[in-house]
């Protein structure tokens, strides 16, 4: 199996894999067979496709093809094409208002709940067009769970918070086991095992967020989307969630929106940087393995953003 993150199409890397450039299984830069010279590498607003990544077909969970998101006549996200790899943590970063949350919500059809929202282009999920007629949006949201910025436990017991989703989905197995397993996977079991009947809202913010992650896991999703899951948490709770994310990626694909550069750099495997044009529509500037994007960004807009000169 090809490791999606270690094979890149710098010409020499391609030679090392034994593949011809044409056959290369992954693409970091849309190369044309020559190394980019300085002026091409740092080219704000350069036309052409954003530098991004490709992965072996069986490692692709989402494939966005020219995705645009609208609220009424306002285009919030413009022509984004990218692939999200399986069992990896993909970070979406970019200035406020560039459409990160909009994009994330399009991954599980959460935007359907907003009357004026619609998309153009396509999102393939394991090769299936998520917006095709006949696709069940409720099932989509079961498979592709979401954790929000502000922890939002239901006003129910800790146990019932976790059991709620499986009950609605008609789960017939051993609920006690499922609740325990979900809380364990969310790294909160030891803190709550003696008070499962107390309200979820009585927990600390960091605990509530892990409870929400347990709730998301309980319905056995494939993907977990996280929209700034740590922005309401202190640094210790934040590190706990990051550690948890690294454990969870063994079993799940994670896409996280974060404003915290250190968090993106620490916790994610690949990073997509978005910014917005004069029309305020967000677009993809570049996507790369996280370490590479933070140390060797190709586009000056990315460099300005990650070094704090912009945004």
Ligand X SMILES: Nc1ncnc2c1ncn2[C@@H]1O[C@H](COP(=O)(O)OP(=O)(O)OP(=O)(O)O)[C@@H](O)[C@H]1O
**Binding-site size, Mg ion (CB under 5 A):** 1
Please give the size of the binding site for ligand X, defined by CB under 6 A: 12
Question: Which residue, 50 or 225, has its beta carbon nearer to Mg ion?
Answer: 225
Indicate whether 99 belongs to the interface with ligand X (CB under 6 A): yes
Which residue, judged by CB position, is nearest to Mg ion in the bound state? Answer: 101
* Residue 246 to residue 23: CA distance in whole angstroms: 31
Question: Residue 172 Cβ, how far from Mg ion at the closest point, in Å?
Answer: 37
Reduced to 3 states (helix: H, G, I; strand: E, B; else coil), residue 44 is: coil
Among 28, 78, 100, 215, binds ligand X (CB under 6 A): 100
CB 284 within 8 A of CB 81: yes
CA dist list (Å): 122 to 127, 131, 258 = 11, 7, 24
97 binds, among Mg ion, ligand X, none (CB under 5 to 8 A by kind): ligand X
Neighbouring CB atoms inside 10 A of 167's CB total 11
Partners of 125 in beta bridges: 62, 128
Question: Which one of residues 195, 280, 296, 309 is an interface residue with ligand X (CB under 6 A)?
Answer: 280
* Assigned token pair, 17: 């894999």
Cβ closest to ligand X, residue 157 vs residue 275? 275
**Residue 310: closest CA among 283, 267, 268, 273:** 273
102 binds, among ligand X, Mg ion, none (CB under 5 to 8 A by kind): ligand X
Residue 202 and residue 233: Cα distance in Å, rounded?
15
Residue 161 interacting entry, from ligand X, Mg ion, none, C-beta within 5 to 8 Å by type: none
Nearer to ligand X, 54 or 227 (CB): 227
Question: Can residue 101 be called a binding residue for Mg ion (CB under 5 A)?
Answer: yes
Handedness of CA 283, 103, 223, 207 (dihedral sign): positive
Query: In the bound complex, what is the minimum distance in angstroms from residue 77's beta carbon to Mg ion?
Result: 12
Phi, psi of 85 (to 5 degrees): -80, 150
71 counts as binding ligand X under rule CB under 6 A: yes
Q: What is the spatial distance between Cα 290 and Cα 296, in angstroms, rounded to a whole number? A: 10
Distance of CA 264 to the CA centre of its chain: 11
**Nearest-approach distance from CB 138 to ligand X, in angstroms:** 21
Residue 284 lies near ligand X (rule: CB under 6 A): no
Per the structure block, which two tokens stand in for 155? 């006003």
Does 114 interact with ligand X (rule: CB under 6 A)? yes
The pattern of x and - marking residues 199 through 228 that bind ligand X according to CB under 6 A reads ------------------------------
Contact between 258 and 93 under an 8 Å Cβ cutoff? The reply is: yes
CB nearer to Mg ion: pick between 101 and 290 = 101
Position among 97, 234, 262, 277 found at the interface with ligand X (CB under 6 A): 97
Phi first, then psi: give them for residue 125, nearest 5 degrees. -115, 110
Rule CB under 6 A: choose which of 24, 59, 101, 268 binds ligand X. 101
List residues near Mg ion by CB under 5 A.
101
List residues near ligand X by CB under 6 A.
71, 76, 96-102, 114, 116, 280
């Amino acid at each position: 199996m090809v490791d999606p993150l270690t094979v890149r199409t710098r010409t020499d890397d391609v030679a090392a894999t034994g593949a011809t450039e044409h056959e290369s299984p992954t693409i970091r830069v849309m190369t044309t067979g020559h190394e980019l010279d300085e002026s091409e590498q740092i080219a704000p607003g350069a036309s052409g496709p954003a530098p991004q990544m490709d992965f072996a077909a069986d490692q692709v969970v989402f494939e966005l093809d020219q995705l645009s998101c609208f609220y009424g006549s306002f285009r919030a996200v413009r022509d984004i094409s990218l692939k999200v790899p399986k069992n990896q943590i993909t970070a979406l970063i970019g200035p406020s208002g560039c459409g990160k949350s909009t994009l994330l919500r399009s991954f599980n059809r959460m935007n359907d709940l907003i009357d004026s929202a619609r998309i153009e282009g396509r999102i393939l999920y394991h090769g299936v067009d998520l917006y095709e007629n006949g696709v069940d949006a409720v099932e989509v949201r079961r498979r592709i769970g979401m954790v929000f910025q502000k922890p939002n436990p239901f006003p129910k017991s800790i146990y019932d918070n976790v059991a709620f989703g499986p009950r609605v989905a008609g789960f017939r197995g051993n609920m006690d086991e499922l609740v325990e397993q979900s809380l364990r996977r969310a790294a909160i079991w030891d803190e709550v095992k003696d008070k499962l009947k107390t309200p979820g809202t009585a927990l600390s913010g960091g605990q509530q967020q892990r409870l929400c992650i347990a709730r998301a896991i309980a319905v056995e999703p494939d993907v977990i989307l996280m929209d700034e899951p740590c922005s309401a948490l202190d640094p210790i709770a934040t590190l706990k969630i990051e550690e948890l994310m690294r454990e969870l990626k063994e079993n799940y694909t994670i896409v996280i929106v974060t404003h915290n550069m250190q968090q993106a750099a620490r916790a994610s495997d690949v990073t997509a940087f978005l910014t917005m044009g004069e029309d305020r529509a967000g677009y993809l500037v570049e996507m790369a393995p996280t370490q590479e994007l933070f140390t060797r960004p190709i586009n000056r807009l990315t460099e300005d953003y990650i070094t704090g000169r912009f945004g």
